[in-house]
Amino acid sequence: MRIGDIMTKNPLTVDSETLVVDAQKIMREKNIRRLPVVDKGKLVGIITNHDLLAAAPSPATSLSVYEMNYLLAKMKVKEVMKKNPVTVSPETPFEEALRLGQEKKIGSFPVVENGKLVGITTESDIVRILTRVLGLNEEGSRITIEGLGEKLGDLGKIISIVDERKTIILSMMSMPRPEKNDWMIVLRVKTKNPGPMVLDFKRAGFNVTYVA
């Protein structure tokens, strides 16, 4: 899955000369938390709700309310935006964007193609897609199997057992456990009665540790 498949296309933008109070108004009215900053068709920054809140003078300031309001009314987006934000392209794999977000500790990416802003992807997009990928929008059961080796045959047996029960696999995640030198599999299967399948797994020698 690519970022182009999940991004919000043609997002709202502001330019660097936009007043901070106007950017705040746009975010409030459109119920969004960030705005890409575009000058003459080129992405130059991004501004978030947090940036706007941080721009306000500290409550401990010696400025009067009138002075604070005056300063805020004159402040422009270019004074508080994050310049040269990390971007991705529509072709960036979804999992690569996840890795990059974790590495950079950021929750959204402007999406740029041929130097032009074409979209934005946010935490909401990622949660929505993960919900689909993990099958969380479908009723079913979760089965955790621990202590697997690295042999592909184990995975084949698991799929075969599910298939014999004529059940659909909604999602399957494999996670290494370096401390135990083995793997754990988490299955979501489309059945409300996983009991018989769990017995099949145990008879086949699998260590089922969690069922829900």
Q: Please compute the mean of the pLDDT values over residues 23-47 and round it to a whole number.
A: 95
More confident position, 4 or 64: 4
Q: Give 141-172 pLDDT, tens digit per residue.
A: 999 999 887 665 788 899 999 999 999 999 99
Instruction: Determine how many CB atoms are found less than 10 A away from the CB of residue 126.
Output: 19
What are 131's strand-pairing partners?
none
Q: Residue 60 has what pLDDT?
A: 46
Give yes or no for residue 56 having a pLDDT over 80: no
Q: What distances in angstroms separate CA 3 from CA 90, 98, 119, 133, 210, one per listed residue? A: 5, 10, 9, 14, 33
Q: Residue 63 has what pLDDT?
A: 57
Distance between CA atoms of residues 91 and 141, nearest Å: 33
Closest to 11 measured CA to CA, from 111, 106, 127: 111
Q: Please compute the mean of the pLDDT values over residues 4-17 and round it to a whole number.
A: 95
Least confident of 21-30, 49-58, 190-199: 49-58
Give yes or no for residue 131 having a pLDDT over 50: yes
Residue 64 and residue 94 in contact, taking contact as beta carbons nearer than 8 Å: no
Least confident of 43-47, 108-112, 124-128: 124-128
Alpha-carbon Rg of the chain, whole angstroms?
24
Q: Mind listing the domains of the chain with CATH numbers?
A: 3-131 (3.10.580.10), 141-211 (3.30.70.260)
